[in-house]
A and B are shown apart, each in its own frame.
Chain A
Amino acid sequence: MNIVETRNLKKFFESKKGTVKAVNDVSINVIKGETLGVVGESGCGKTTLGRTILKLIEPSSGKIIFEGKDITNLNEKQIRPLRKKMNIVFQDPVASLNPQMTVYDHLSRPLEIHNMISSEEEKIKRIIDILNTMGLKAEHMIRYPHELSGGQKQRVCIARALCLEPEFLLLDEPTSALDVSVQSKILKLLERAKSKFKVSYMFISHNINLVRSISDRIAVMYLGRLVEVGDTKKVFRDPKHPYTKALFASVPQPDPDKKVKIALEGDVPSPVDPPIGCAFAPRCKDKVGKICDDKMPELEERYDRRVACHLYD
């Protein structure tokens, strides 16, 4: 069963240079209880996709379905009750906290808004509880964001997202601003929440190794489109799309004798003026022929996954 699903979702931005097609015709689903990893280069539309799914920005067209309900056209007020069930952790913890609110304020607001608590005492107990689980102490409640370290701030952000016990959590590179030891702690906590409460994650990252270790399925994005979606193990064992292959090949290996291969050459084409055919065609090493430049490959079921490439026509 899907917790979240998008159908032909598009998000275009108008800019001076033209229309930026940040998310272009993306149909993706997150199954209840799973972790879906979304990878791709910077600027490929991962973050925009995430924000559009949560309706933090309005989609240009397409549909967003949450728990079987079409939420595409809900306005800000109508969607408010649903905010309890879905939440987001941003990449930059420094920017995600209100500098004029204490940690206590940050954690008590969601509880107040969604009437999760009946008494002041219960609220404080709950907040202390959450802070302890996140490796923070009760005394951090009275701290302002600027009095916390980066790792502590991100833990507050995750605590804020988890304190509503959501069904779906969008993690937009939540650990990229943290050091490795804090990273692993946070990933463990996320794992625990997942196994206990069947919370589903959409994990956006450009850290391929990280995504590999925590995702059940993986979706690869290129220039606003999905190019490959499938089971993490299978995709890693045998990537089908030339872009996926190149992306995985460029991950540094923990072996000093192995040289890092430069698998990707050239630049990502402009999202304002994407190629008519396959978006990856100008950089692709396995082009089958003219069709790659002329016709956009559809994301189709191939083997055990979905791939958008003419190689498998």
Chain B
Amino acid sequence: MEEDQSYFGTEDIDIEQEIQDLKKKKTSQMELVWLRFKRNKLALIGTAILFLLIFVAIFAPILAPYDPLETNVARRREDPSRDHWLGTDQLGRDLLSRLMYGARIALFIGLIIVGVSGGIGVTLGLLAGTIGGWVDEVIMRVVDAFMSFPVLIFGIAFAVSFGGGLYPVIMAVGLITWTQFARVTRGDVLAIKQEQYIEGARAIGESRFSIITRYFLPNVLPSIIVVATIQMPSAILYSAALNFLGVGVEPPTPSWGEMVNAGSRFMQFRPNMVTVTGLAIVVTVLAFNFMGDGLRDALDPVRRGGR
């Protein structure tokens, strides 16, 4: 009898029909995330700002009214006017154009730094948390050591010894800001380790690797996203700060840090340059934070601490 071949084998199932039905009913995972995400108004605003920023960064050559490198000694340090909406800098370059081109650098730097530090941090955090013992000890002491370095000093030293420029700065900031990723990942892993579903995974014979990739990683992901959205703006800030101090993007390439630096020199009588650039940094940072908050709540089906 067919019935005796399996525990179940109750009735014949029209598999095609079932799959068709399922397809109709299934709201895809992304749709669900989006449904939850759009309930958070701040997150939507943040995302809109970021999209605008990305749009501006990509189409800067078309959108910018002037060449950001074109100087005009006759019209230096001007207040906003019809010709120059945000005014000009100390060399008579159009501020709006420089701000637009600067967004390219800022976003690029933010992404790469978070990628580097996230990659290092999450991997080490997972190792520390899952293996434990002396591996955990060693990794966490390294984290402590790195956390005690002042980021800017390390950044300057590292960048200068590798010849300055953009990439040494990116590497420097990436190499020093991974600690937060490692700590958060490890902390989450230690909590998840106690969960019964990890024991359940072992009971069905999951390998160590599968347990890490299928059980630990998806469950730490919401926290990692939050850290990433916190790290992203601070990466932009750090690189701006390093720029301000003179390492990183070489002049005359427009970068926000360098612009704040230049503007600060004549802040008393022409505050527009510092204010406008500073505002751009603040808005970008906030937009990332808002979006990250919304993403975390939307991605986590259990919605720990979600609204």
Q: Which residues of A contact B (CB under 8 A)?
A: 51, 54, 56, 76-77, 80-81, 83-84, 87-88, 90, 92, 95-101, 109-110, 113-114, 121, 124-126, 128-130, 132-133, 138-139, 141-142, 144, 146, 157, 160, 162-165, 193, 196-197
Contacts and interface: CB of A to CB of B under 8 A. Distances in A.
B13 A142 contact: no
Contacts of B6: 126, 129, 165
Contacts of A77: 207
Contacts of A51: 199
Given A83-B204, A110-B205, A125-B15, A133 B10 contact: yes
Contact of B202 (A76, A100, A141): A76
Interface of B is mostly: helix
Nearest to B27: A142
B197 A96 contact: yes
Nearest to A132: B10
Given A83-B203, A99-B197, A197-B7, 14 more contacts: A87-B204, A92-B196, A98-B197, A101-B214, A109-B206, A113-B210, A114-B205, A128-B18, A129-B10, A132-B13, A138-B21, A160-B200, A164-B204, A193-B7
B25 interface: yes
B298 to A, nearest CB: 14
B83 interface: no
Contacts of B301: 99-100, 144, 146
Interface of A is mostly: helix
A196 B7 contact: yes
A146 B302 contact: yes
Given A124-B19, A125-B13, A146-B301, A130 B8 contact: yes
A96 B200 contact: yes
A138 B18 contact: yes
A41 B108 CA distance: 62
Contacts of A126: 6, 8
Interface of B: 4, 6-11, 13, 15, 18-19, 21-22, 25-26, 195-197, 199-208, 210, 214-215, 218-219, 221, 301-302
Given A95-B196, A125-B15, A133-B8, A139 B203 contact: no
A97 B15 CA distance: 26
A97 B13 contact: no
Given A76-B208, A132-B11, A196-B4, A141 B196 contact: no
B22 A160 contact: no
Nearest to B222: A100
Contact of B15 (A81, A121, A160, A165): A121
A129 B8 contact: yes
Contacts of A90: 196, 199-200
Contact of B22 (A80, A99, A138, A196): A138
Contacts of B302: 99, 146
A101 B8 CA distance: 23
A-B pairs with the 5 shortest C-beta distances? A83-B205, A100-B218, A95-B196, A133-B8, A110-B204
21 contacts: A56-B199, A56-B202, A76-B208, A83-B202, A83-B203, A83-B205, A90-B199, A95-B196, A96-B200, A97-B200, A98-B219, A101-B215, A113-B204, A125-B15, A132-B13, A133-B8, A138-B21, A139-B25, A142-B25, A157-B200, A164-B204
B207 A87 contact: no
A97 B197 contact: yes
Contacts of B201: 98, 109
A146 B208 CA distance: 25
Contacts of B195: 95
A124 B18 CA distance: 9
Contacts of A87: 203-204
Nearest to B221: A100
Given A76-B202, A88-B203, A95 B197 contact: yes
Nearest to A129: B8
B280 to A, nearest CB: 37
B202 A160 contact: no
A96 B8 contact: no
A83 B205 CA distance: 5
A101 B196 CA distance: 14
B194 to A, nearest CB: 9
Contacts of B221: 100
Given A99-B302, A121-B15, A125-B15, A80 B9 contact: no
Contacts of B215: 98, 100-101
A109 B202 contact: no
